[in-house]
A and B are shown apart, each in its own frame.
Chain A
Amino acid sequence: MKFWMFHLMPWPHLPKDFEDKYDSAWVTCSNSLFDPERGPDVYRQYLDQLVYADELGFDGVVVNEHHQNAYGMMPAPNLIAAALSQRIKKARVMVLGNGLPLYDVPLKIAEEFAMLDNMFRGKFDAGFVVGGGPEYYSYNKNPTFARERFREATELILKAWTDPGPFSWKGKHFQLQYVNTWPRPVQDPHPPVWVPGVGSIETMEFVAEHGVIYAALTYSHVDAFRRNAAYFQETVARVGKSPFHPGMLGWLVPMYVAETDQKAREEAEEHIWYFIDKLLKGFAGKGRTWMPPGYTSLQSLQRLQELSDPGSGHAAVKTWQLGHATSWDDIEAGGSVLIGSPQTVREKLLQYVTEFKVGHILALPQFGSLPDHLTRKNMELLANEVFPYVRKHAGAEFDTAPQCPHGGVEQTSAPA
């Protein structure tokens, strides 16, 4: 069982009436709302929180890539990871991930991740992502080629890490006469690779076929995750290179723990609403969805149509997202935020972990405008009163390392 601290590094100083005045926190959300006087402190605080996660004994920390938005201010997560490499002592660091299709030369990502693997002495996890719909507007990349480019770039990077160079690559989207990545990764054959998904069949099959780790990055209804987790297990059984193991599955979930259930709500509620009403606006909730034409395959659209068919009974579960919540009851019922006393949260988490067979919890202890002191208290309670309990009770199947052919085996001892 692995517990990670996921950070989005959101901009916490949006105006109070943001959601009334702006149609989205993404793509068109004016950067005049960023305040350079406060920016340096925001980055410093967030970096310090990730370092604190290491001190508290989190197994790892996770950073991620987003462009032109207030939701996540890491357009270059590899820079953050590089900074962390000089401060983090024990924990692993994961970049989840780099948006492969957004770049014309994917070797840049192979190179930077290999550099990070060296700088972390092998305690580094590499995430490959398609990128969200908004990124295709922000970088003006053709969304209809997103999946093809992702697949080809993934194959190229894995080969660059494992086959001796130089070799040439003549693909549909990338052509390179000389692939010869310096440096090579420290881990053998390469860092563990993670691919996030929000439930599409194609992504799950790709993950299973390549034996990489699937990270469910969605703020959907917990029932939707239940179904997706089950579907992922079936997919691994059907096309996977090795049997399903909980270590192949991660789950991103915002979490807040305080001394009592009531106190947790009192402390966190306004910041959760900041997250939902402001930062998710235009992404996973209200507003323009930034789902460009062709980003979703016809196959996925048809599956959505079937699920949304009132006769199928799936509509509410399938389409509900945290961003749609309008009341506290919505948030609690949706189950996509775990909040309450240590006892409440650890029981819920243990239930989900064992039921969904998820071996990596990607906890999001800072969300929206949650201030530093509450974030740190939250992290302390998670590290001391929630995670040890879940780790202890989850069962033996969560303990062994996954046997993934492509980097799923964790390196227990890094070269000194």
Chain B
Amino acid sequence: MTLHTETLSIRNQKVQLLQGGTGSPVLYLHGLVADIHSLPADGGFTTFHDTLAESFSLYAPALPGYADTAGYDDLENIEDLVFFCLDVLDALNLEKVHLIGTALGGWVATEFATRHAHRLDKFVLINPCGISTPEARIANFFYTVTPKAEGGNDEVRELIFSNQNSELARGAVADEMSPEAQLLFYKAQMVSARVGWTPPSLYNPRLKDRLFRVTVPTLIVTATGDKLVPSALAEIYAGGIPNAEVTQIADSAHAVWLEQPHKAAEAVAQFLNRK
């Protein structure tokens, strides 16, 4: 793993961060579950992020409540996470970055980009939450993660992986987790629910009409087999953001950073490196 764990202290609040690589600075905002900060750090789930760190200086903070980042109790809604990003950029002395957001992080990133586009070089969304339409609805995530008395996480795996029985899927979202993994998984669900449960679930109806404010070059990466965030939503983002393009990645469900880490990292790196 190229990345290493750092701890920031922002106004006396602990912020956990994965960091590594050299090059232009990239701020990466992680997804709902099964991403860095909701999976054990030594589990071998960082190929996508490591690959990006070969070309960029990557900063991947754990959002408040995830992993060891403090601030869950004060968290109320998605707006708080936008301010969290401002705090992190300021603490790292980063005036301008490429911003990448995945799923929940994609929602935060889009809210950020509609307000603070001047802090961004380029903008990348990967299977982002934040927008949902009657034609292409974000799936009922909170129902799916509700545990069953008989145990097992097959429905969660089914929602975010192509094959819920694959070694990868079972490694990331096991039926029987260690207490440590269970805690990380539960924290991820808590924060997701804290900012995303309140109806509407995992999106902001006002966001679509604010996309015009994202004035930087934008790439929207979707996975054709995404059952959580329909890939058709990419067209909404592309239609609203003035300078946007869409890349589709085949043979992957929602967790594209795990299922196709090289293809996804390559698509993102190419876009960010383009003059």
Contacts and interface: CB of A to CB of B under 8 A. Distances in A.
Interface of A: 137, 140, 142-145, 285-294, 298, 301-302, 305, 309, 323-324
B149 A289 contact: yes
Given A140-B199, A293-B142, 4 more contacts: A287-B149, A293-B197, A302-B183, A305-B182
Contacts of B192: 293
Given A285-B149, A301-B186, A143 B193 contact: yes
Nearest to A306: B179
A291 B194 contact: no
Nearest to A283: B149
Which 4 residue pairs are nearest across A and B when measured between Cβ atoms? A293-B189, A293-B193, A294-B190, A144-B194
B146 A288 contact: yes
Interface string B166-203: 00000000000001001100110110111001110000
Given A285-B149, A287-B148, A294-B193, A137 B143 contact: yes
Nearest to A280: B149
A146 B156 CA distance: 24
Contacts of A302: 183
B82 interface: no
Contacts of B199: 140
Contacts of B183: 298, 301-302, 305
B150 interface: yes
B23 interface: no
22 contacts: A140-B197, A142-B194, A143-B197, A145-B194, A285-B149, A288-B147, A288-B149, A289-B146, A289-B149, A290-B146, A292-B197, A293-B145, A293-B146, A293-B186, A293-B193, A294-B189, A294-B194, A301-B182, A301-B183, A301-B186, A305-B182, A305-B183
Contact of A298 (B145, B147, B186, B197): B186
Contacts of B182: 301, 305
Nearest to A173: B76
Nearest to A287: B149
B150 A144 contact: no
B190 A298 contact: yes
Given A286-B149, A286-B150, A294-B189, A305 B142 contact: no
A270 to B, nearest CB: 23
A142 B198 contact: yes
Given A140-B199, A301-B183, A292 B194 contact: no
Contact of B197 (A144, A287, A290, A301): A144
A405 to B, nearest CB: 28
B193 A291 contact: no
Nearest to A323: B149
Nearest to B199: A140
Contacts of B186: 293, 298, 301
A32 to B, nearest CB: 20
Most buried by A among B145, B182, B183, B193: B193
B149 A293 contact: no
A309 B187 CA distance: 20
A291 B186 CA distance: 12
Contacts of A287: 148-149
Contact of A292 (B146, B149, B198): B146
Contacts of A294: 189-190, 193-194, 197
A137 B146 CA distance: 10
Nearest to B189: A293
Contact of B193 (A288, A292, A309): A292
A144 B142 CA distance: 12
Nearest to B148: A288
A323 B183 CA distance: 26
A144 B190 contact: yes
B148 A292 contact: no
A285 B150 CA distance: 9
Nearest to B186: A301
Contacts of B149: 285-289, 323-324
Contacts of A288: 146-149
Nearest to B178: A305
Nearest to B155: A288
A143 B195 CA distance: 11
A142 B186 CA distance: 16
Contacts of B197: 140, 142-144, 292-294
A320 to B, nearest CB: 12
Contacts of A301: 182-183, 186
B187 to A, nearest CB: 7
Most buried by B among A290, A292, A301, A323: A292
A353 B179 CA distance: 36
A298 B193 contact: no
Contacts of A291: 146-147
A376 to B, nearest CB: 34
A380 B136 CA distance: 59
A142 B146 contact: no
B189 to A, nearest CB: 4
